[in-house]
Amino acid sequence: MLVRDAMTPDVRMVTPSQSIHDAARLMAEWDVGSLPVSEDDRLVGMLTDRDITIRAVAAGRSPETPVREVMSRDVKYCFDDDEVESVAHNMGEVQLHRLVVLDHDKRMVGIVALADIAQCEGAEPAGAAVCGISEPTHGAASRSMS
């Protein structure tokens, strides 16, 4: 199965200038744990609930802190025509629960999460990815937009 058949295509985004308060409110409203960050029709980062917790709240930053100050700039991704099983393996290697999905023009077309993989491919590939994610060290095999 291809990633395009498993991914979530309706992805909401934030801008680097929005506040982390706005981003957290949107995460709660949309029931998501991460938001792609887009500027001038380009993907420039990823903001996760963990980024907000560790880089903002734990550091004593204001809720008005701009997203750009706490987002992750190293965006990992896969292509929409990649095989799901291969992407699940890669997610385990790079220890990520979700990846941005791009077309070959490098336009974001969705996000694929372990839950998407489990629903489409079953427990085996998703479980293998979770085992990799649980390892104490990071793998090196990934694509990155940084």
Q: What is the pLDDT of residue 141?
A: 46
The larger pLDDT score, comparing residue 143 to residue 42, is at 42
pLDDT, tens only, 57-100: 999 999 999 999 999 999 999 999 999 888 888 888 888 888 99
Question: What's 71's domain CATH number?
Answer: 3.10.580.10
Q: What is the pLDDT of residue 140?
A: 45
Residue 139 pLDDT > 80, yes or no?
no
The larger pLDDT score, comparing residue 138 to residue 86, is at 86
Q: What's the mean pLDDT in 139-146?
A: 49
pLDDT, tens only, 109-124: 999 988 888 877 655 6
Distance CA 146, CA 141 (A): 15
DSSP-derived secondary structure letter, 137: S
Query: ∠16-20-25 over CA atoms, to 5°?
Result: 120
Q: pTM for this structure?
A: 0.77
pLDDT, tens only, 10-24: 889 999 999 999 999
Total domains present in the chain = 1
Q: Which residues, in sequence order, are CB contacts of 47 under 8 Å at separation 6+?
A: 14, 20, 23, 34, 35, 36, 37, 67, 70, 71, 72
Q: Provide the residue range defining the domain that includes 64.
A: 3-144
End-to-end alpha-carbon separation of the chain, Å? 28
